[in-house]
Amino acid sequence: MTAVTATSAPTDLPEVAPLVITATGVVSAAGFGAGPLRDVLAGTSAPHDEPVDPDAAEHPARSVRTVARFDRAALLGRKGTRNLDRLTQLGLLAADQAIAGLPGGLGGARLDRTGVVVGTTAGSIATATDVGRDTIVHEKPYMVNPATFPNTVMNACSGQIAIRHGLLGVNAAVSGGALSWLLAVRYARTALSSGRADRLLVGAVEEVTARTAWAWHLTGLLAPDAPLGEGAAFFVVAPAGGGTPVAELLGCEVGYFGGAGPGLYGGLRRTIAAAVARSGLTAADIDVVVPGATAHTRLARMERRALGTELGVLPPTLDVLPAVGEAYSASGALQLAALLATGGGNRVALLTSVGEDGGAGAMVVRC
């Protein structure tokens, strides 16, 4: 919880216990895995930029970063996958990859103490609107597809990941708009530090369809040339000592600043300061920043200004937008996946997320 007292200290809460990431999986417009993402970020290969949804011809005039079509049966198997929506499929693919990256896979630890946390703002809008359309175009309005209907719940992806891998522990969906990833990390930290799980698969998912593209387009919130993105990234997260770390998750602070209080700019500054302080670090320790709001006309400048003000001098910036697009619920997870894909070197990174709905947050990562 963010400290929001009027004192000069950024927070009166103690330093957080670092969490370790022991494996990662990412599916994005760059392709499957960290390697292709690194190449696209480096400019040595191009992201996939064609719509792939059934209404591909109906997209607005806006560029996209989409996951190229894939062979579901080949990658996920035939059993039990035919009725899965694309959002869940993307999540399963990234989760599979993360699990495959664990030395020894999921063995060696209790599956009833292994859980799943998935960031998603509204589940699959494609599925929700498919079912909604069924209720108005059929002669009998209740003739929705009974195999599709269970996918309308927003925890469909987290439930399917658990089913696929037999994960009996805490299983949660987390809805947070642009902050979905940061909120998922906070949920995971709380569950792990409260002793409710030993290990969690934590990720976030997003899809691009003509329906979501028009929705974004008509709001006018995004820069005209900002591509919409989709994808999924998952990370196996445990308390320190729970495996060989790929990276460490340090301070992660969020708040709501759309109403009372310091306003969005002031609130973002607070969360940055508190996240750094709760990492036991100072602004001078930050080697790289990964901003999340770069597609947003109003928010992008504000985010940059808040980072510059809090950090003094703005360190090198990793802008993931050209590679993965504005991926909304998955944006923070893809920011982290991009950071990790660009290599280690014991850097300390600051990731920020800002929502049009008044949420702001920041997370510190050592990688």
Partner 1 sequence: MHERRRVAVTGLGTVSCVGIGIDAFTSAIREGRVGSSEITSFDTTGFPATLACEVRGFEPRDVLERVEPDHWGPSAVFAAAAGRLAVQDGGLDPASLADRRAGTVMGTTCGEAPVIQQLTDQWVADGLKNIDADLVTKVPANRIATAVNHELGLTGPAQTVPSACSASNFALGYAYDLIVSGEADLMVAGGADAVNRSTHAGFLQLGALATDVCRPFDVDRSGILTGEGGVALLLEPYDVAQARGARIYAELLGYGANCDARHMVNPDADSIAACIRLAQASAGVAPEQVDYVCAHGTGTPTNDATEVAAMRQVFPDRLPPISSIKSMIGHTMGAASGFGAAICCKALEEGFLPPTANLRTLDPALGAGVDPVPGVARAATPSVVQNHGFAFGGNNAITMFGRAS
Count the Cβ atoms, other than its own, within 10 Å of residue 139: 5
Closest CB to partner 1 among residues 31, 119: 119
Residue 9 within binding range of partner 1, rule CB under 8 A: no
Whether 237 and 19 have beta carbons less than 8 Å apart is answered as: yes
Footprint of partner 1 on residues 194-213 (CB under 8 A)?
A: 194, 196, 210-211
3-state secondary structure 101-169: CCCCCCCCCCHHHEEEEEECCCCCHHHHHHHHHHHHHCCCCCCCCCCCHHHHCCCHHHHHHHHHHCCCC
Cα-Cα-Cα-Cα dihedral sign, residues 333, 338, 340, 345: negative
Residue 132's φ and ψ, nearest 5 degrees, are -60, -40
Footprint of partner 1 on residues 12-51 (CB under 8 A)?
A: 13-14
Instruction: State the minimum distance, in angstroms, from the CB of residue 301 to partner 1.
Output: 21
Residue 120 within binding range of partner 1, rule CB under 8 A: yes
Q: Which of 40, 64, 125, 354 binds partner 1 (CB under 8 A)?
A: 125
What 3-state DSSP class applies to 79?
Answer: coil
Closest CB to partner 1 among residues 227, 355: 355
Residue 122 within binding range of partner 1, rule CB under 8 A: yes
Q: Which of 136, 241, 244, 345 binds partner 1 (CB under 8 A)?
A: 136
Residue 97 within binding range of partner 1, rule CB under 8 A: no
Instruction: State the minimum distance, in angstroms, from the CB of residue 110 to partner 1.
Output: 12
Residue 81 within binding range of partner 1, rule CB under 8 A: no
Whether 221 and 296 have beta carbons less than 8 Å apart is answered as: yes
Closest CB to partner 1 among residues 48, 186: 186
Closest CB to partner 1 among residues 43, 241: 241
Footprint of partner 1 on residues 339-358 (CB under 8 A)?
A: 355-358
Closest of 365, 348, 264, 335 to residue 306, by C-alpha: 264
DSSP character string of 2-45: ----SSSSS-SSPPPPPEEEEEEEEEETTEESHHHHHHHHHTSS
Residue 56 within binding range of partner 1, rule CB under 8 A: no
Instruction: State the minimum distance, in angstroms, from the CB of residue 239 to partner 1.
Output: 14
Footprint of partner 1 on residues 246-265 (CB under 8 A)?
A: 254-262
Exposed/middle/buried for 211, CB within 10 Å: 0-12, 13-18, 19+? middle
Instruction: State the minimum distance, in angstroms, from the CB of residue 74 to partner 1.
Output: 23
Closest CB to partner 1 among residues 205, 323: 205
DSSP H or E stretch at residue 234: strand 231-239
DSSP character string of 85-96: -HHHHHHHHHHH
What would the two tokens of residue 126 be?
């494609």
Instruction: State the minimum distance, in angstroms, from the CB of residue 269 to partner 1.
Output: 13
Residue 60 within binding range of partner 1, rule CB under 8 A: yes
Residues whose CB falls within 8 Å of the CB of residue 358, separated by 6 or more in sequence, listed in order: 256, 257, 258, 259, 264
Residue 224 within binding range of partner 1, rule CB under 8 A: no
Number of residues that bind partner 1 (CB under 8 A): 96
Footprint of partner 1 on residues 139-168 (CB under 8 A)?
A: 139-146, 149-156, 158-160, 162-163, 165-168
Instruction: State the minimum distance, in angstroms, from the CB of residue 325 to partner 1.
Output: 18
Footprint of partner 1 on residues 167-196 (CB under 8 A)?
A: 167-177, 179-180, 183, 186-187, 190-191, 193-194, 196
What 3-state DSSP class applies to 191?
Answer: helix
Residue 5 within binding range of partner 1, rule CB under 8 A: yes
Instruction: State the minimum distance, in angstroms, from the CB of residue 9 to partner 1.
Output: 13
Closest CB to partner 1 among residues 78, 140: 140
Footprint of partner 1 on residues 283-342 (CB under 8 A)?
A: none
Gap between the Cα atoms of 269 and 260, Å rounded: 16
DSSP character string of 281-302: --GGG--EEE-S-TTBHHHHHH
Instruction: State the minimum distance, in angstroms, from the CB of residue 186 to partner 1.
Output: 7
Q: Which residues of 11-37 are buried (b: 16+ CB within 10 A; e: fewer)?
A: beeeebebbbbbbbbbbbbbbbbbebb
